[in-house]
Amino acid sequence: MDCIVVDNGSGDGSAEMVEAEFPRTKVIRSTTNLGFCAGNNLGIAAAQGDFIALLNNDAVAEPQWVEALLLEMEVDPKIGMVASKILVAGRPGVIDKVGHGIYWDGQNRGKGSGDQDRGQFDTAREILWPDGCAAMYRKEMLDEIGGFDEDFFAYADDAELGLRGRTAGWRARYAPDAVVHHQRGATMGKWSPDRIRLIERNRVWLAAKHFPLWLLVLNPLFFLMRLVAGAWAGARGEGEAGQVKGIRAKIELVLVLLRADLEAIGGLGKMWTKRNAWRRKRKLSDREVVALLSRYQLTLSELSKKLA
């Protein structure tokens, strides 16, 4: 088993520390921060094995993590992705995510986020796709469909890769014994404007690349429904919107979302070209794509609740 560390433009001596303390580890250096997508693609390109496990710098895996992922991967050769049980670091027994779900406007997030772990997620099962902060991918699948879309930079990139894999006919599973502790939002900060901008922009691009045309036309309606549900929850002091305090903070949040949507619209031409190229390769019909999304649909109630 090879261990590869991608140093994505850090300036704190991380690469030197790894080379000194773990001399058998291969360190790939970038002089600038290439983002989650390009950084992971560097590591994937250098990997020689049949399976590739990704682990973010803000995630700590328990000792049996790789073995548990591999055991689930071996269930079926058409399993291309396996998700971990990701817990919130520093909050014992609180779920961060156990695979992903999606809403009809392209918003996606981890299933089970904020729930207390009472064993309800201790059974291996089929999922939509894994969270890229701690997941395993089959190299054969990545060779077929390609790596992360580097235009996304970060956020919703694992969703785009996951949906590409699923529409190419690959399966995804969840391994409950592959436990990871994740410091959520540590990379950019939970309420960082850049983080919110990327999440919103990439939500639109994900839908543009993969949703059937009729569902894409209805995207603004579903987006509005989600905003109304979130605002209603926020007015009651609930959900993520309830954590945004004060009129000024709310206005700033709205402006960030508007800028993100304008940026998304500006990139739709490029996404449409990618959409057309992928539609010639994918194996699922539009009807089957909708059925897949429906099976793992997030409700407005789930989207409006406070995350871990």
- CATH code, domain carrying 209: 3.90.550
d(CA 119, CA 253): 36
If you average pLDDT over residues 19-38, what whole number do you get?
94
Is residue 34, in this structure, part of any structural domain at all? no
% of the chain beyond a pLDDT of 70 = 94
Given a cut of 80, is residue 154 above it in pLDDT?
yes
Q: Is residue 21 part of a domain?
A: no
Look at residue 249 and tell me if it is in a domain.
Answer: yes
- Residue 189 belongs to a domain: yes
pLDDT value at 191 more than 90: no
Confidence of residue 88 (pLDDT cuts 50, 70, 90): very high
Examine residue 35 and state whether it is found in any structural domain, yes or no. Answer: no
**How confident is the model at residue 257, as a pLDDT?**
94
Rounded to 10 deg, the angle between the 193-210 and 247-266 helix axes is: 40
Angle at 61 between CA 43 and CA 135, to 5 degrees: 50
At residue 299, the pLDDT reads: 93
Least confident of 90-104, 193-207, 223-237: 223-237
- Least confident range from 45-49, 136-140, 235-239, 280-284: namely 235-239
Residue 69 has pLDDT above 80, yes or no: yes
186: pLDDT strictly greater than 60: no
Q: Which long-range contacts (CB under 8 A, 24 or more apart) does 20-29 make?
A: 26/2, 28/4
Q: What is the pLDDT of residues 210-244, one digit of tens each?
A: 999 999 999 999 999 999 998 888 777 776 655 66
Give bridge partners of residue 125 from the DSSP assignment.
Answer: 174
Contacts 24+ apart (CB under 8 A), 121-125: 121/85, 121/95, 121/174, 121/176, 122/176, 123/176, 124/72, 124/75, 124/173, 124/174, 124/175, 124/176, 125/173, 125/174
Model confidence band, residue 206 (pLDDT cutoffs 50, 70, 90): very high
8 A C-beta contact, residue 199 and residue 273: no
User: Does 72 score more than 60 pLDDT?
Assistant: yes
Please state, in angstroms and as integers, the Cα–Cα distance from residue 97 to each residue in 112, 113, 184, following that order: 6, 5, 10
Residue 254 lies in a domain: yes
- Judged by phi (left if over 0) then psi (alpha if -120 to 50, else beta), residue 90 lies in left
- Counting the structural domains of the chain, the total is 1
* Residue 45, pLDDT score: 96
**Residue 38 pLDDT class (50, 70, 90 cuts):** very high
Q: Is residue 116 part of a domain?
A: yes
d(CA 129, CA 195): 21
Strand, helix or coil at 175?
A: strand
Residues in the chain, total:
308
Q: Are 178 and 144 in contact (CB under 8 A)?
A: no
| Cα–Cα distance for residue pair 26/15, rounded to 1 Å | 10
Which residue in the block uniquely carries the two structure tokens 């002089």?
Answer: 31
Please give the residue that has the higher pLDDT: either 230 or 42. 42
Res 187: pLDDT: 61
pTM for the whole thing?
A: 0.94
Euclidean distance between CA atoms 232 and 235, whole angstroms: 5
Evaluate whether residue 244 is within a structural domain.
Answer: yes
Its domain, for residue 86, covers: 49-308
The pLDDT of 108-136, averaged and rounded, is 96
pLDDT reported for residue 241: 59
Residue 115 half-sphere exposure toward CB, CA atoms < 13 A: 14
